Structures are given as C-alpha cells and as structure tokens.
Amino acid sequence: MPYIKIEVTKEGVTREQKQQLIKGVTDVVTQVLNKDPHLTHVVIQEIELDNWGYAGEQTSVLREKGITAERK
Amino acid sequence: MPYIKIEVTKEGVTREQKQQLIKGVTDVVTQVLNKDPHLTHVVIQEIELDNWGYAGEQTSVLREKGITAERK
Amino acid sequence: MPYIKIEVTKEGVTREQKQQLIKGVTDVVTQVLNKDPHLTHVVIQEIELDNWGYAGEQTSVLREKGITAERK
Amino acid sequence: MPYIKIEVTKEGVTREQKQQLIKGVTDVVTQVLNKDPHLTHVVIQEIELDNWGYAGEQTSVLREKGITAERK
Amino acid sequence: MPYIKIEVTKEGVTREQKQQLIKGVTDVVTQVLNKDPHLTHVVIQEIELDNWGYAGEQTSVLREKGITAERK
Amino acid sequence: MPYIKIEVTKEGVTREQKQQLIKGVTDVVTQVLNKDPHLTHVVIQEIELDNWGYAGEQTSVLREKGITAERK
C-alpha cells in the first residue's frame, strides 16, 4: 500500500513530466517492494516559489539572483 | 490534539461536501478518542487530476478513458 | 482516490480504536464524496508527547500539569 | 537535514511575511539542532478557508461569524 | 528542491531495499525535472499494519485473512 | 490555525531541544502572522538514518563516511 508524495517548486512542470514522475516512481517502488501497482498512489504537489525556502531564503529570491536548482 | 489531512482529487467538491467531511471526520475522531473538538483540526487538500497517479497512470488519463473512482 | 492521514498523540490508542477510526473515517469520506472504498487509504500516525507542541508547550509538559485533551 | 512544512489558512499572507517565516523558522531549527542551513528546507502551504476545519466547522463559516484566529 | 515522502506498511523492508528506493526515486525525480540531487531529499516512513487502513479495514486484519499487497 | 511539521533525522534530539523547537517555531509563526498560540500546533517527526535519503544516499551511509549535517 505505498503512498508517495512528491513536492516540487512550481516552475513549469509539464503534463508529460508529471506522467513520467508518476510512472517512474511507481515502477521503482512497486519493483523494489514487490507491491501491486493498484495499491500505489502518487501525489505531486507544486509549491509556489515564494512558499519554498532554502537556507533561509525564498526560492523566488534565489531565482532572481540567478541561482537555480538545475543539475550541473 | 488530533490533526487530520484529507487528500482528494479536485473534481468539483462542493462547499457543502467539505463541511460534511469536516463535521463527519471531526465527530468520528473526537468520539472514538474522546478528544476535545477545540483541539481538532481538519485540512482538505484538493489535488489536480494531472497530479494524482494511480497504478502508474495520471488520474486525468484514467478519467479520459472513462475510469472513475465512484462507488459502484 | 482519497488518502487520509490522522495524527494523534501516542496515549494508549488501542487496536480497536484504530479500527473504529479507519472504519468511521472511510465511511464518512466515501459516502460524502461517493468514492470507492477500494481506492481509499487511511494512515494513523501516533506522535510521542514530547514531540507534539500546543501553544508553544510540549504535550508531555501539559500532561504533567494535569492538562488533558479530553472532551469535557 | 530538516524539512519543515508550515500550513496556514490562506488569508492574505504577504511575500514579506513568508520570507520572515522562512528566515525565522530556519534560524530556530538550525540553531537548536546545529544544522547546516543548506540542508534545511521550509515549505509554506496556504489552505483555503473552506478547506480548513476547526472544532467541526469550516474556517470560512467561523470568519463569517466574526471568529478570527488572531492573537488577543 | 524536490522533497519526496514514501509511506509504506512496516513489513520487513530491508536496509538494502530502502537504499534502492532512495536511489531509484532520486534518479527518476532529478532526471525528469533536471534537478540537482544535492537539493533532493527522500524520506521513507514505515507504518504499522494496525495503523494503515484500506477499504475501511486495518491492514493487519487483511493480512490475517491472507490478503497481501503483493504484485501478482 | 497554523500547523507545523518538523522532520529531522533521529540523532539524539533531546527533550530540551524539542521544547526549544516547539517554543521557537511557535513564537515565529504566531508573531509573523499574528496568530493565537492556542490554535497553533507543532509536530516533530524523527526519521531513522536509514530512512532519510540525501542526494540519492542513505543518511546512515553518509554518516559512516563521516559526512554530517552540522553547521560549519
């Protein structure tokens, strides 16, 4: 009965990316734990940049400074 | 001090239904546990259909296929 | 696809009370929203008294002062 | 690696207040636990008044009755 | 800045499975969203069988009846 | 009606530190938002090191390698 919550900043995540997240995470969890996918729910929660803080700063402020969360 | 979070897909839940959820769940929890309702909070979180995955599929896709979550 | 999380202080909640919570909350949510119970999950999370704060005080301290969360 | 979620009713919380919440909570948690702020995330979640229940009532109804959550 | 919470029933999940969950889910999320893994946290929460309800029944009761969550 | 959840790794957080977290976070949130502390709940959740992943690694493995989350 896994339940998975994914919280990400709201920065243009597309419908296709959401489907990839849901499919990919469901695959990992059901395969590692040998669980029935029909008992597996994934919820994606997008958080406004003003509402996510990192190291004491709003992400919206970090983005204005040119600091991203991108993989290098 | 119970706190209850209810996550549901965002599919036209009315104000009246929300009130019924809040009242009903508060009654169950405070009666079973003999808790003061003034210490009991209920939060309803509605999730976009693109953001809720079931069995590896977006709920929005399931709905397009005619698959609902309705009680039979 | 409702998912419900119930957080309560860890104060001797019995197996029977947990079953009543699960049954009662599932009934309320599936009836109000007309949802299939087979898509409905309820998770109870018991929190140690030292770990739940109310009005800036640990619940364990409140209990030592004789302050309970019981319904009057 | 602390992660902190702050849930509040959606009642005109300003960008400045959000920054104060993020800064203040990050300071408390990293100082008390001696944690690296770069491992500390804070997420603020604003909840519609219809979706937050207190003592079995919707907060929107409480507000209509003139009952606020303000500090006295 | 993704944060992912995985909730599963407490049924003998090994340290190796937890590592596979953490690695697998981090890979999916950072690749799909092109995010820095150093900003990505995964939390696994194991829930006692008495505390997880499915279709109005405690999972512990379902297990006693021989009903598992295993993939078929 | 704020509700705050603090998730930290389970690494010897003392009762005093928990009280400081509860007091400090309640003060910040009630002062910034002008909220009644009697409507403010704080829940601390301690997560086993095997269950918290950072950058795709279990925190328990990171600790074995001498990597801590301490403020420098």
Q: Which residues pair with B42 in a beta bridge?
A: B4, D53
Which residue of chain D is at minimal alpha-carbon distance from E43?
D3
Does residue B69 lie in a domain region? no
- Given CA atoms B57, B63, B64, B67 in this order, what sign does their dihedral have? positive
pLDDT one-digit tens code per residue, D11-69: 999 999 999 999 999 999 999 999 999 999 999 999 999 999 999 999 999 999 999 99
CB contact under 8 A, E53 and C41: yes
pLDDT at site E27 = 98
- CA F72 to CA F54: how far, in whole Å? 18
Does residue D71 lie in a domain region? no
Which residue of chain C is at minimal alpha-carbon distance from B3?
C7
Chains D and F touch (3+ CB pairs under 8 A): yes
CB contact under 8 A, C53 and F45: no
Provide mean pLDDT across the span C55-63: 97
Range 26-65 of C in CB contact (< 8 A) with F: 47, 50-58, 60-61
Does residue B72 lie in a domain region? no
CATH of the domain at A10: 3.30.429.10
Does residue A7 lie in a domain region? yes
| 3-state secondary structure (DSSP) of residue E48 | coil
- CA C56 to CA C68: how far, in whole Å? 15
CB contact under 8 A, C3 and A1: no
CB contact under 8 A, C53 and F26: yes
pLDDT one-digit tens code per residue, A18-64: 999 999 999 999 999 999 999 999 999 999 999 999 999 999 999 99
pLDDT at site E72 = 78
Confidence of residue B36 (pLDDT cuts 50, 70, 90): very high
- Is C37 catalytic? The answer is no
Q: Can you give the residue range of the structural domain that contains F15? A: 3-64
How many Cα atoms within 13 Å fall on the side-chain side of residue C34?
8
**Domain count for chain C:** 1
Q: Are strands B52-54 and A52-54 parallel, antiparallel or unpaired?
A: unpaired
Q: Which chains touch E (3 or more CB pairs under 8 A)?
A: A, C, D, F
Does residue E24 lie in a domain region? yes
With beta carbons under 8 A apart, name residues in chain B contacting A20. none
Does residue C69 lie in a domain region? no
pLDDT at site C64 = 96
Does residue C8 lie in a domain region? yes
With beta carbons under 8 A apart, name residues in chain A contacting E21. 28-29, 32-33
Question: Please, are residues B69 and B9 in contact by the beta-carbon 8 Å criterion?
Answer: yes
Does residue E38 lie in a domain region? yes
